[in-house]
Amino acid sequence: MAISNTSDFKIYEEQFFGGLTETLQQMTDVMNAASRGAIAMGTSLMKGNYEYESFFKAVSGGLVTRQDITSNSSVTPTKLTQDEFIRVKCHRKIGPTDVTRKAFLMAGENPELASFVFGKQAAEEVAADMLNTALLAARVALANQSAVLNDATSLADTTCTSKNLINTLRKFGDKQNRVVAWIMHSTSWFDLGLDGVDNQVDSIASGIIRVLDVPGMGRPFIVTDSDSLIATADTPDSYYVLGLTEGGIQAMFTEEQYIASQEILGNEQIQTRLQGEYAYNLGLKGFKWDVSNGAANPDSSTIGTGSNWDMAVSSYKDLAGVVLKSQARS
């Protein structure tokens, strides 16, 4: 009679973890490349609830000024100050999930092989949660800074159009080239496409209809139907398009993923319970997490409060990017 030993289920855990790790690595590599580094995902093990990074702020009033060569009077020194970027740790769990050994066997699957597939499914959920949480943070933090927000909901055309995108990019002025990618909901993406159709022009010289080429202005579009890009509390719903700079969003696994399985006996069927946990640090370029108001291990509501992300830099052009607030095309 074959008897499952603890060593057998160690293989099960390794298969699950293998599927989880492989898929997460693939997804983070794709996201980093597709967004041109605007969304930076990776691994950097760290202790504590917060990650602090100090920096020297730009000297207010200008570091370089005119020298009066006809005077030798005293001059008030300019003040050099420091501030800090603060990233907050988000703790997450996987499961617990119970599955019977018989369920795998009846489906014609080897339990060890099926656990690899299950691990891949878990990885997709892990990556989706990380992305959605990061997009929510970026949306509310940027929208809370009027200097980088283009609110089109009060304009004649409230939708995502080429004109509204250009005016959003205009918020960065001469630093507009820092914006490397657009992140948007598919609703905004299709509205932008329809705007392109509306702007077809008839060339009298050639008699050929062409479509104006403005939409992304050389920047890639990352299209995701994330609820984090919609404000459903508004009437009608507001849709947000993020124009992010390189390193605008930082989401780093800071605690190793731990997966455990437990064999459960005493029931009609032998069951296996899977459970895991991990953590990642979330940060936004140019911002610091408000430790006093936001506190540790925040939930989605707290992360989604714009005032919990404080501007740390002196210039808004050093922030994570720009944001367009629009409505869906009717």
Question: According to the model, what pLDDT value does residue 86 have?
Answer: 93
49, burial (CB in 10 Å: exposed 0-12, middle 13-18, buried 19+): middle
Q: Between β-strands 271-284 and 39-43, what pairing exists: parallel, antiparallel or unpaired?
A: unpaired
DSSP string, 231-299: ETTSSS-EEEEEEEETTSEEEEEEEEEEEEEEEE-SSSS-EEEEEEEEEEEEEETTEEE-HHHH-SS--
Average pLDDT value for the chain = 82
Question: According to the model, what pLDDT value does residue 165 have?
Answer: 94
CB 81 within 8 A of CB 57: yes
- Nearest alpha carbon to residue 14 among 111, 97, 129, 130: 111
Q: Using alpha carbons only, give the angle 106, 111, 113 rounded to the nearest 5 degrees.
A: 115
Q: What are phi and psi of 99, to 5 degrees?
A: -145, 140
Question: According to the model, what pLDDT value does residue 201 have?
Answer: 47
pTM: 0.82
Beta bridge partners, 327, equal 238
Question: According to the model, what pLDDT value does residue 156 have?
Answer: 93
Question: According to the model, what pLDDT value does residue 152 have?
Answer: 97
DSSP string, 40-71: EEEE----SSEEEEEEEPPPTT-S-----TT-
Under-50 pLDDT residues of the chain: 1-11, 201-214
* Tally: H helices and E strands in the chain: 7, 15
% pLDDT > 90, the chain = 45
DSSP string, 67-118: --TT-----PPPPP-EEEEEEEEEEEEEEEEEEEHHHHHHTT--HHHHHHHH
CB 244 within 8 A of CB 321: yes
* 1: helix, strand or coil: coil
Give the amino acid at 205: A
* 216: helix, strand or coil: coil
Give the amino acid at 132: N
- Nearest alpha carbon to residue 4 among 291, 270, 225, 204: 270
